[in-house]
Chains A and B, each alone.
Chain A
Amino acid sequence: ETGVTQSPTHLIKTRGQQVTLRCSSQSGHNTVSWYQQALGQGPQFIFQYYREEENGRGNFPPRFSGLQFPNYSSELNVNALELDDSALYLCASSPPSGSRGNTQYFGPGTRLTVL
Protein backbone atom coordinates (compact mmCIF):
# COMPACT_ATOMS: atom_id res chain seq x y z
CA GLU A 1 0.00 0.00 0.00
CA THR A 2 1.49 3.32 -1.09
CA GLY A 3 1.38 6.10 1.47
CA VAL A 4 0.90 9.82 0.94
CA THR A 5 3.57 11.36 -1.25
CA GLN A 6 4.44 15.03 -1.79
CA SER A 7 6.59 16.93 -4.24
CA PRO A 8 8.91 18.69 -4.27
CA THR A 9 10.79 17.99 -1.04
CA HIS A 10 12.30 21.46 -0.83
CA LEU A 11 11.57 24.68 -2.66
CA ILE A 12 13.08 28.17 -2.59
CA LYS A 13 11.08 31.12 -3.95
CA THR A 14 11.28 34.88 -3.92
CA ARG A 15 8.72 37.17 -2.31
CA GLY A 16 5.88 37.95 -4.74
CA GLN A 17 6.26 34.74 -6.74
CA GLN A 18 3.72 31.94 -7.01
CA VAL A 19 4.23 28.30 -6.01
CA THR A 20 2.45 24.98 -6.58
CA LEU A 21 2.87 22.01 -4.25
CA ARG A 22 1.63 18.53 -5.11
CA CYS A 23 0.24 15.63 -3.14
CA SER A 24 -0.79 12.08 -4.01
CA SER A 25 -3.21 10.55 -1.53
CA GLN A 26 -2.87 7.10 -0.03
CA SER A 27 -4.51 4.33 -2.02
CA GLY A 28 -8.26 4.17 -1.29
CA HIS A 29 -8.39 7.63 0.31
CA ASN A 30 -10.74 10.24 -1.17
CA THR A 31 -10.21 13.29 1.06
CA VAL A 32 -7.13 15.50 1.14
CA SER A 33 -6.23 18.17 3.70
CA TRP A 34 -3.39 20.68 3.66
CA TYR A 35 -1.55 22.15 6.65
CA GLN A 36 1.10 24.80 7.21
CA GLN A 37 3.66 24.14 9.94
CA ALA A 38 5.87 27.06 10.92
CA LEU A 39 9.14 26.28 12.67
CA GLY A 40 8.57 25.19 16.27
CA GLN A 41 4.77 25.19 15.94
CA GLY A 42 2.01 22.66 15.43
CA PRO A 43 0.44 22.38 11.97
CA GLN A 44 -2.32 24.86 11.03
CA PHE A 45 -5.23 23.70 8.87
CA ILE A 46 -5.40 25.42 5.47
CA PHE A 47 -8.24 23.60 3.68
CA GLN A 48 -9.72 20.24 2.80
CA TYR A 49 -10.86 18.79 -0.52
CA TYR A 50 -13.48 16.11 -1.05
CA ARG A 51 -14.95 15.07 -4.41
CA GLU A 52 -12.88 17.78 -6.11
CA GLU A 53 -14.51 20.53 -4.05
CA GLU A 54 -13.20 22.56 -1.13
CA ASN A 55 -15.37 21.48 1.82
CA GLY A 56 -13.57 23.14 4.71
CA ARG A 57 -11.12 26.00 5.19
CA GLY A 58 -9.01 27.38 8.00
CA ASN A 59 -8.02 30.99 8.63
CA PHE A 60 -5.93 31.50 5.50
CA PRO A 61 -6.31 34.26 2.87
CA PRO A 62 -7.66 33.60 -0.65
CA ARG A 63 -4.16 33.64 -2.14
CA PHE A 64 -3.98 30.08 -0.76
CA SER A 65 -5.98 27.96 -3.18
CA GLY A 66 -6.15 24.33 -4.18
CA LEU A 67 -7.38 21.66 -6.50
CA GLN A 68 -8.30 18.02 -6.23
CA PHE A 69 -8.23 15.78 -9.27
CA PRO A 70 -10.41 12.75 -10.17
CA ASN A 71 -7.66 10.40 -8.93
CA TYR A 72 -7.85 12.24 -5.54
CA SER A 73 -4.41 13.82 -5.87
CA SER A 74 -4.24 17.48 -4.95
CA GLU A 75 -2.38 20.74 -5.45
CA LEU A 76 -1.82 23.68 -3.14
CA ASN A 77 -1.21 27.01 -4.86
CA VAL A 78 0.08 30.09 -3.09
CA ASN A 79 0.13 33.44 -4.91
CA ALA A 80 2.04 36.61 -4.04
CA LEU A 81 4.38 34.81 -1.66
CA GLU A 82 5.30 36.55 1.57
CA LEU A 83 8.25 35.92 3.86
CA ASP A 84 5.87 34.48 6.51
CA ASP A 85 4.81 31.77 4.06
CA SER A 86 8.13 30.04 4.73
CA ALA A 87 7.10 26.79 6.41
CA LEU A 88 6.69 23.05 6.09
CA TYR A 89 3.55 22.25 4.08
CA LEU A 90 1.93 18.97 4.97
CA CYS A 91 -0.65 17.06 3.00
CA ALA A 92 -2.85 14.43 4.66
CA SER A 93 -5.36 12.01 3.18
CA SER A 94 -8.34 10.27 4.80
CA PRO A 95 -10.29 7.15 3.86
CA PRO A 96 -14.01 7.26 3.04
CA SER A 97 -16.27 7.84 6.04
CA GLY A 98 -16.50 4.82 8.28
CA SER A 99 -14.66 3.46 11.27
CA ARG A 100 -11.46 5.32 10.38
CA GLY A 101 -12.93 8.06 8.20
CA ASN A 102 -11.77 10.88 10.45
CA THR A 103 -8.18 9.71 10.63
CA GLN A 104 -5.65 11.65 8.58
CA TYR A 105 -2.43 10.13 7.28
CA PHE A 106 0.35 12.54 6.47
CA GLY A 107 2.94 12.84 3.75
CA PRO A 108 6.57 13.81 4.34
CA GLY A 109 5.95 17.49 3.63
CA THR A 110 7.41 20.19 1.37
CA ARG A 111 9.79 22.70 2.92
CA LEU A 112 9.14 26.12 1.35
CA THR A 113 11.59 28.96 1.87
CA VAL A 114 10.63 32.46 0.72
CA LEU A 115 13.50 34.94 0.33
Chain B
Amino acid sequence: AQTVTQSQPEMSVQEAETVTLSCTYDTSESNYYLFWYKQPPSRQMILVIRQEAYKQQNATENRFSVNFQKAAKSFSLKISDSQLGDTAMYFCASGGGADGLTFGKGTHLIIQP
Protein backbone atom coordinates (compact mmCIF):
# COMPACT_ATOMS: atom_id res chain seq x y z
CA ALA B 1 0.00 0.00 0.00
CA GLN B 2 1.11 3.53 -0.69
CA THR B 3 0.87 6.42 1.74
CA VAL B 4 1.36 10.14 1.14
CA THR B 5 1.82 12.64 3.96
CA GLN B 6 1.53 16.41 3.74
CA SER B 7 2.42 17.91 7.10
CA GLN B 8 1.44 21.53 6.40
CA PRO B 9 -2.35 21.99 6.53
CA GLU B 10 -2.07 25.67 5.60
CA MET B 11 0.59 28.13 4.46
CA SER B 12 0.44 31.84 3.74
CA VAL B 13 3.01 33.97 1.89
CA GLN B 14 3.17 37.38 0.27
CA GLU B 15 2.83 37.79 -3.46
CA ALA B 16 6.15 37.41 -5.34
CA GLU B 17 7.72 35.34 -2.54
CA THR B 18 8.96 31.80 -2.92
CA VAL B 19 7.16 29.02 -1.04
CA THR B 20 7.92 25.33 -0.56
CA LEU B 21 5.27 22.71 0.15
CA SER B 22 6.38 19.45 1.76
CA CYS B 23 5.41 15.89 0.92
CA THR B 24 6.68 12.50 2.02
CA TYR B 25 5.53 9.18 0.66
CA ASP B 26 5.96 5.48 1.13
CA THR B 27 5.67 2.84 -1.55
CA SER B 28 6.79 -0.72 -2.21
CA GLU B 29 6.90 -0.12 -5.96
CA SER B 30 10.28 0.01 -7.68
CA ASN B 31 9.07 2.24 -10.49
CA TYR B 32 6.52 4.88 -9.64
CA TYR B 33 5.36 8.37 -10.43
CA LEU B 34 4.81 11.40 -8.22
CA PHE B 35 2.53 14.33 -8.88
CA TRP B 36 1.48 17.69 -7.54
CA TYR B 37 -2.08 18.79 -8.26
CA LYS B 38 -3.70 22.15 -7.61
CA GLN B 39 -7.38 22.44 -6.66
CA PRO B 40 -8.72 26.01 -6.65
CA PRO B 41 -12.17 26.85 -5.25
CA SER B 42 -13.63 25.90 -8.64
CA ARG B 43 -12.86 22.27 -7.56
CA GLN B 44 -11.12 21.25 -10.80
CA MET B 45 -7.99 19.25 -10.01
CA ILE B 46 -5.20 20.66 -12.19
CA LEU B 47 -1.89 18.90 -12.81
CA VAL B 48 1.01 21.11 -11.74
CA ILE B 49 4.02 18.88 -12.19
CA ARG B 50 4.98 15.23 -12.67
CA GLN B 51 8.11 13.28 -11.66
CA GLU B 52 9.13 9.81 -12.76
CA ALA B 53 10.94 8.10 -9.90
CA TYR B 54 13.63 6.56 -12.09
CA LYS B 55 14.69 10.01 -13.32
CA GLN B 56 17.17 11.69 -11.00
CA GLN B 57 16.69 15.14 -12.53
CA ASN B 58 14.12 17.24 -10.70
CA ALA B 59 11.10 18.22 -12.81
CA THR B 60 10.46 21.88 -13.61
CA GLU B 61 7.44 23.62 -15.13
CA ASN B 62 7.90 27.38 -15.41
CA ARG B 63 7.64 28.79 -11.83
CA PHE B 64 7.09 25.33 -10.34
CA SER B 65 9.87 22.92 -9.49
CA VAL B 66 10.31 19.90 -7.26
CA ASN B 67 13.01 18.66 -4.94
CA PHE B 68 12.86 14.88 -5.29
CA GLN B 69 14.88 12.99 -2.68
CA LYS B 70 14.30 9.33 -3.50
CA ALA B 71 16.21 7.83 -0.57
CA ALA B 72 14.36 10.04 1.89
CA LYS B 73 11.04 9.50 0.02
CA SER B 74 10.54 13.24 -0.08
CA PHE B 75 8.91 15.22 -2.89
CA SER B 76 8.55 18.94 -2.15
CA LEU B 77 7.10 21.58 -4.47
CA LYS B 78 8.70 25.01 -4.83
CA ILE B 79 6.69 27.89 -6.25
CA SER B 80 8.77 30.87 -7.28
CA ASP B 81 7.46 34.43 -7.74
CA SER B 82 4.10 33.42 -6.25
CA GLN B 83 0.98 34.99 -7.74
CA LEU B 84 -2.52 35.59 -6.38
CA GLY B 85 -3.82 32.94 -8.76
CA ASP B 86 -1.66 30.33 -7.01
CA THR B 87 -4.04 30.42 -4.04
CA ALA B 88 -5.53 26.91 -3.87
CA MET B 89 -5.35 23.50 -2.21
CA TYR B 90 -2.25 21.60 -3.31
CA PHE B 91 -2.24 17.82 -3.25
CA CYS B 92 0.75 15.54 -3.50
CA ALA B 93 0.02 12.13 -5.04
CA SER B 94 1.81 8.94 -5.99
CA GLY B 95 0.94 6.07 -8.29
CA GLY B 96 -1.15 6.41 -11.44
CA GLY B 97 -1.33 2.82 -12.60
CA ALA B 98 -4.19 0.35 -12.10
CA ASP B 99 -4.16 1.05 -8.35
CA GLY B 100 -4.96 4.69 -9.02
CA LEU B 101 -3.44 7.68 -7.32
CA THR B 102 -2.88 7.92 -3.57
CA PHE B 103 -3.29 11.50 -2.36
CA GLY B 104 -2.16 13.36 0.71
CA LYS B 105 -4.60 15.46 2.74
CA GLY B 106 -3.50 18.64 1.01
CA THR B 107 -1.97 22.00 1.88
CA HIS B 108 -4.07 25.14 1.65
CA LEU B 109 -1.81 27.80 0.14
CA ILE B 110 -2.83 31.43 0.50
CA ILE B 111 -1.02 34.14 -1.47
CA GLN B 112 -1.48 37.52 0.19
CA PRO B 113 -1.44 40.72 -1.91
Interface residues on A, range: 20 to 34
B102 touches which of A45, A47, A56, A92 (Cβ 8 Å): A45
Q: Does A35 contact B (CB under 8 A)?
A: yes
Contacts of A78 in B (CB 8 A): none
Distance in angstroms from A51 CB to nearest chain B CB is 12
B62 within 8 A of A: no
Q: Let me know if B78 is at the binding interface, CB within 8 A.
A: no
The total of interchain contacts (Cβ-Cβ below 8 angstroms) comes to: 66
Collect the chain A residues with CB atoms within 8 Å of residue B45's CB. 43, 90, 92, 106, 109
Residues of B within 8 A of A102 (CB): 33, 95-97
Contact B97 A42 (CB under 8 A): no
Task: Kindly state whether residue B25 has any CB partner on chain A within 8 Å.
Answer: no
> Does the CB pair B43–A88 fall under 8 Å?
yes
- Asked if B101 lies at the interface with its beta carbon under 8 angstroms from chain A, I say yes
Q: Could you mark each residue 36-80 of chain A with 1 if its beta carbon is under 8 Å from any beta carbon of chain B, else 0? A: 000001111111101000011010000000000000000000000
Taking Cβ atoms with an 8 Å cutoff, the residues of B that contact A are: 4, 33, 35, 37, 42-47, 50, 91, 93, 95-106
- Interface residues, chain A, with chain B CB atoms under 8 Å away: 33, 35, 41-48, 50, 55-56, 58, 88, 90, 92, 94, 100, 102-109, 111
A33-B100, A45-B100, A47-B100 provided; 17 other pairs, C-beta below 8 A? A33-B101, A41-B105, A42-B4, A42-B93, A42-B105, A44-B103, A45-B102, A55-B98, A90-B45, A92-B45, A100-B50, A102-B95, A103-B47, A103-B96, A104-B47, A104-B101, A106-B45
